[in-house]
Structure formats: structure tokens, C-alpha cells
Amino acid sequence: MKLIYFHGFASSGASGTVQLLRKIFPSAEIIAPDIPVDPEEALPFLQNLVETEQPDLVMGTSMGGMYAQQMHGHLRICVNPAFRMSTMSKVLHTGEHKWLNGRKDSAKTFKVTADIIKHFNQMERKQFEGITPDDRKLCYGLFGINDKTVNSANTYATFTKYYDHAERIEAEHQLNEKVVHKYVLPLMKQLLGAKYDEALKEPLPDYMKYRCSLRKAMC
């Protein structure tokens, strides 16, 4: 199973959710990029990554869910997607911000400018363009009824205008282990079937892989 995970605002590919998923799925290939701050850079970067890697599933939470929705043609799960980042002034405002998780470039802080907020607004106006009838069946949404960061009722209503599969769940905005096990994993199993089951297994040690490949070569 190959999974690409998109993190939320001010987070990174080293988030707690990524660590949890890697623990649950020891045999999976889980790709979790550090998303650039400016959507003008982030969206094409993520689209290129998905097209290059061809994952079995794209999953994103919050801001990452907003980006995941736009990965048309791929199976994806959007958890509490933040479709209107530019209006979330308590989260996205000009000035210096601290990264909540370690970034690959070791940066501790980042700046949000008025232009970045403008770029979010411009992207948001176009984020539901290009959805095909087939694509309506490929995108799944999970919306926490206790979400205090985004308006869950509004995002659910927006999502269901364009996609067929949406569920309101007993959860807050941020994912935690309980929510992952109760809602996310069952949906992943439903969508991925045997690949999901294989990803749960511990990988073979290198010496066992060598013995297996040698045995096949001798047959």
C-alpha cells in the first residue's frame, strides 16, 4: 500500500498522525511531504508528487484535506478539510508563525504575507473546478461534528455538492488515535481491501528477503 499524507497548516511530514500511520502500517510506503507555505508553490508541488508516485490513496487533514480534494483522478480521503483558509484569521494571519512539528529544512518559523493569504483566496475560488462524474466517486470526506476550527456543517454541505461520499463523525478538528481507529481505518480498509491487510503485516527482515529471492531464483 502506498499512501501520501498531506498535513495541516504549520505542521509537517513528521506530524503525530504520520508517525501513528507508520506504526499501524509497518509494511506500507507512507509519503508525507513538508508542504510549502504559499499555495502557488504548494499546489503544483503536490500535484506533481501525486502524479509521479501514483499512490493507492491520498489522505489529508485540515489544510491538507483542502489540497487532497484537488488531487483529481486519485482515491482520496479528506478529514475536516479547511476549504476557506483565507477566511480563518485566527489561523492564517500575516506575521511570523512557529512550525508545530520538525521540518526537513530544520526551519523553526515561517512568515505569512498578505500575498500568501491572497493566493489562498484565489486558489479557493477554483478548488472545485474540473471534477468529473467519475471523480465524484473517488473522494471521501470525514467531518467532525465537534470541530471548532472550521465550520463542519458548512464544509460538509460544500463537499456534498460535489462528491458522493461524506460522513459526519464524533470528532474534533485534529485527528487523534481514537478517531483514526474508529473512523479512518475502517474507511481505508473498505477502500483498499487486500492492500490494507498486507500493509498491517510486519515486513520481512532483509536476510529473509534474500533467502526468499534466492529460493525463487533456484526454482
What domains are there in the chain, each with its CATH number?
A: 2-218 (3.40.50.1820)
- When pLDDT is averaged across residues 152-180 and rounded to a whole number, the result is 96
User: pLDDT digits over 32-58, tens only?
Assistant: 999 999 999 999 999 999 999 999 999
Distance CA 58, CA 136 (A): 15
Distance CA 154, CA 151 (A): 5
**Contact of 98 with 109, CB cutoff 8 Å:** yes
Distance CA 97, CA 91 (A): 10
Instruction: Retrieve residue 139's grid coordinates.
Output: 473522494
User: pLDDT digits over 80-114, tens only?
Assistant: 999 999 999 999 999 999 999 999 999 999 999 99
Distance CA 152, CA 150 (A): 6
Distance CA 153, CA 19 (A): 29
Helix axes 39-53, 114-126, angle to 10 degrees: 50
- When pLDDT is averaged across residues 54-78 and rounded to a whole number, the result is 98
Confidence (pLDDT) at 203 = 82
pLDDT band at 219 (very low <50, low <70, confident <90, very high): very low
**Helix (H) / strand (E) containing 4:** strand 2-6
Among residues 67, 47, 45, 63, the alpha carbon closest in space to that of 55 is found at: 47
Among residues 141, 124, 148, 151, the alpha carbon closest in space to that of 61 is found at: 141
